[in-house]
Amino acid sequence: MHFLEGLLQLAFVVGNDEFLIIYAFVGAVEVFFGCIELGLARDVGCKQGLLVGAKEFLKLFAVSVEARHGFEFSKGFLILAFESAELGFNITRERICTSWLDPETKMIPQWSLIKIVVISTVVSMPWADANRFRINKAKSKENGHPSLLYPKDTATRELKRLDGVWDFRLAPFNNSEIGFTQQWFSQPLRNTGTVLDMPVPSSFNDITQDRKIRDHVGWVWYETNFIPPQSWATDSRIVLRFGSVQYLAVVYLNGNLITTHVGGHLPFESDVTTSLNFGSKNRITVAVNNTLDHNTVPQADIYQRPGAEYAVQDLFFDFFNYAGIHRSVILYRTPQTYINDVTFVTLEVNEEQSNAQVSVSVDIRPATTGGLECLLVLEDHTGSIAHSTSIDLDAANSVSFPLTNARFWWPYLMRTDYGYLYQLKLNLQRKSDGLLLDSYDLPVGIRTVSWNSDQFFINNSPFYFRGFGKHEDYPIRGKGLDWPYIIKDFNLLHWVGANSFRTSHYPYSEEIVQTADKYGIVIIDEVPAVALRYFHASVLDVHKQMVAELIQRDKNNPSVVMWSLGNECKTAINESQPYF
């Protein structure tokens, strides 16, 4: 036992998967000679004892290895081993060696049990591909920047959607790293083998009739080509933005690594100004991995049944793990001096007097730029100016102001003019000559949220949530963005008299949130921390990243009144207390 522990510890230290293979091999050899020495008996009754013993021992062993080495892969390894061992016992239950059972407890001793578990695992797992059970740190060391402002055309901004039919290829489960070892990103994807047509945005799972694609666990590869406008080549900042990729994305542009992102459902982007070939063809290659394990949010177990050609994810939640490029891929242009972020806050409202106090803050990049001001114009739904002001950016980056004759944002059925939105128009310009540098329009609602021990209030009026915990799944396209379904859903919400929903159990698309603003539907915004049961530091890092990215994305949407940190997490587990 100490010998195997030593090999395992060495594997963690040197980061070499070969030692994991040796570890399994030594156990397999000992089981082989143990079977020869003891002989195989025919005792069907020992199966239950073996499985109960296996389950309890694996729990203890996993906790021990994690405490000593801080390496979550061992848990995945042991859980997979237990699944494989259980299946093996079902097949060969009449040939299990009764000599290994303790005569008093009728349970197998721990040392003999680990031998059976190891050999069952060796038989059922392609060990050469151990990397598929964990995120390769080299690929994810720099997470993509969260997207701050939703891309749109303005007087100074342009965008080019890259949606359409992309080339698509699965990496085989038993050699899922092949795309990286053979550098598929360095050449057209169709040169590496057979590719399929894959619509973007969509989930890849239900597009074909192939079960292996539907249930695939591991890496898949996407590719498309585009030509950026030649007019973008000067005085521009060019950004490549993904609305959502589930779960891990590694993005290449013309064969060069551009960015990575961990966690689905939320947008990320990267400045690609210096990486583009203007006026000629450019190639985007995206490696996507949908693997969920004990270090992801949400979580799952992974196992492969003996003889199967693909892995199975044992999800801890009750919905399908759709995967792929789920939302629009956009290339957009801004000026080199630009509005990076805007935050709009309603400080207070007075419904009787139709007055409100609001604040606006802006973030300008580069931050060192001087001599600038930002003009703010708040327009009502007719285009009339409700208020105008400016921020002298040499002195401040925010301003607050009163709004008279204000029209508030109300939920559906709470007032007749529900979902009322203003347009906040921002113009960044030089103070010296008024030269326009950048512009952006942001829909905003005048709305406050408050509560006490008994009630929840919107604009100081009691609000009762009538609605649903819904999902974002649709036939064929999975979690792919689909405008007809979005509008149909909101018409149904109005039809049944609902005024709210929770984004169970992950962030829905920005387009859904924006539509909720217009339809007066209140949202409880939830991150994908559903049924968490492992509370490692690495999980907490991802979880906090998702919360921060969600708030950053939806902070200006009046429909969002609450942030949900998770759903049905196993808070009875002691480790969850310091976590939360």
Which residue blocks in 200-323 are alpha helix, DSSP H?
A: 211-214
Alpha-carbon Rg for the chain, nearest whole angstrom, is 28
* DSSP calls for 317-355: SSS----EE-S-EEEEEE-SSEEEEEEEEEEEEETTTTE
What is d(CA 144, CA 562) in angstroms, rounded to the nearest whole number?
A: 26
Q: Residue 499, SS3?
A: coil
Measured CA to CA in angstroms, residue 48 lies from 53, 105, 425, 485 at distances of: 8, 12, 69, 49
Q: Is 568 a catalytic residue?
A: yes
Q: Residue 197, SS3?
A: strand
Q: Of 37, 472, 568, 575, which is the active-site residue?
A: 568
User: Do the Cβ atoms of 149 and 206 come closer than 8 Å?
Assistant: no
User: Do the Cβ atoms of 351 and 460 come closer than 8 Å?
Assistant: yes
Measured CA to CA in angstroms, residue 373 lies from 3, 134, 386, 403, 564 at distances of: 69, 48, 20, 21, 37
DSSP letter for 85, please. H
What is d(CA 580, CA 578) in angstroms, rounded to the nearest whole number?
A: 6
Give the burial string for 414-436 (b: 16+ CB within 10 Å, else e): bbeebbbbbebbbbbbeeeeeee
Q: Given its phi and psi angles, is residue 255 left (phi above 0), alpha (psi -120 to 50 degrees) or beta?
A: left
Which residue blocks in 520-579 are alpha helix, DSSP H?
A: 537-554, 576-579
Token pair, residue 390, equals 């400016």
* DSSP calls for 40-59: ----TTHHHHHHHHHHHHHH
Q: Residue 521, SS3?
A: coil
DSSP letter for 142, please. S
Give strand ranges (E) for 92-157: 145-146
Residues serving a catalytic function are 568
